[in-house]
Structure formats: structure tokens, C-alpha cells
Amino acid sequence: LGIFAAVYLVEYAKRGSRLVKIIRLTAETLSGIPSIIYGLFGMLFFVSFLRWGYSILAGSFTLAIMILPLVMRTTEEAVPDSYREGSFGLGAGKMRTIFVIVLPSAVPGILAGVILSIGRIVGESAALLYTAGSVAAIPKSSLSSGRSLAVHMYLLATEGIYVDQAYATAVVIIVLVLGLNLISSFLAGKLAKV
């Protein structure tokens, strides 16, 4: 959704139009909001209004809304205008320019934005406490409650009894984020060579 919104803003919307200014201002404002506010919004909208309850689905939708501005902005800035102008100058149409020139050359930037977003999600606890719950069990479905690693670490540390397990969970989170970064840089290197 973020990638297609960025493609719309860059390729189809009139530059400098009021709609584009409003969308960019909104995206920049949303990227500065603390995650606990997203959690409260998710609790009010997904948990209460839509009656999903504390569930993995409510947490997922809340986190998707939270990272949407970051994915949009990194995708927008991933391709210089010279690629687009060169493609149009050689006679390519708009769809061909988007799918053959713009998106393939933007893959490393898009991948960087997605990895930054995943890194933010992995360490997220505030938004998930309000939407996904804190049940220490494997969820049976997407509509049942669960516990992320960050929430698990937070709850273990606040109990004061399981501090060593909280530190072990922190190490697992660090290794997970490091592994994701290594995989993404490997993929970005492979895609840049192609």
C-alpha cells in the first residue's frame, strides 16, 4: 500500500497540487507520532469499534498503519527524476517507465525502507500491548491474543523475577534485527548487480 501510494504521488498526481501537499504533510505528521498513540488508536478502532478484541490481527493492522509513512517516503525518494525523464525522452510510456525503469531501480531504496520498518516493528511493545494483548501462548488464529518478543521482554523485566530471561529475549531481538539487516543488504547487493 505504501509503495503504490508513493508511485501515485510521484507518477500520477500533479506536482505541487493541494492533494499531494496534504498527503505528504499527513505522512510526515504520522511518522512523528509516538507508538503509544498508534496503540491507543488501534485499541479504539480495531479492538473496540470493529470488535476484533485483543488479537494478532488488530496488532498487525495497527503496526501496518504505523509504518506506512516510512515506506511511502523511502519509496518516493528512491529514484531520481533523471531516470524517469530519460525514459520519457526515449519514448517509453508511463506504465513502461514505472514497471521497467522506476520500480526496478528503486528496489534497493524500497528494501531499505521496508527493513527500517521491520526493525521498528520488531522492537515495538507499546502499540502491541493495547492491541494484540499479552497472552504467553501460541495464538490459535489471527483473532486470538498473543505476545511479541518486545512485549515478552517488557513483561519479564517488570516482574523483576525473570530478569535473566528478559536479557535473553533482548539478545534474541538483537540477533533477529541483525539477521534481517544482513539478509536485506545481501538481497540489495544481488538486486543492484542485476
Span 108-124, pLDDT tens digits:
888 878 888 887 888 78
Amino acid in the structure at residue 112:
A
**Quick one: DSSP state of residue 125?**
-
Give the model confidence (pLDDT) of 123-160 as tens digits.
788 888 889 888 888 888 888 888 888 888 988 998 88
Half-sphere exposure of 83 (CA within 13 A, CB side): 17
Q: In angstroms, rounded to a whole number, what is the distance separating the alpha carbons of residues 89 and 92?
A: 7
Q: DSSP letters of 46-70?
A: IIIIS---S-HHHHHHHHHHHHHHH
**Quick one: DSSP state of residue 8?**
I
**Which has the closest alpha carbon to 77: 117, 32, 112, 101?**
112
pLDDT-derived band at 169 (thresholds 50, 70, 90) equals very high
Q: In angstroms, rounded to a whole number, what is the distance separating the alpha carbons of residues 18 and 168?
A: 50
Q: In angstroms, rounded to a whole number, what is the distance separating the alpha carbons of residues 127 and 66?
A: 9
pLDDT score for 16: 81
pLDDT-derived band at 192 (thresholds 50, 70, 90) equals low
Do 6 and 75 meet the contact criterion of CB atoms below 8 Å apart? yes
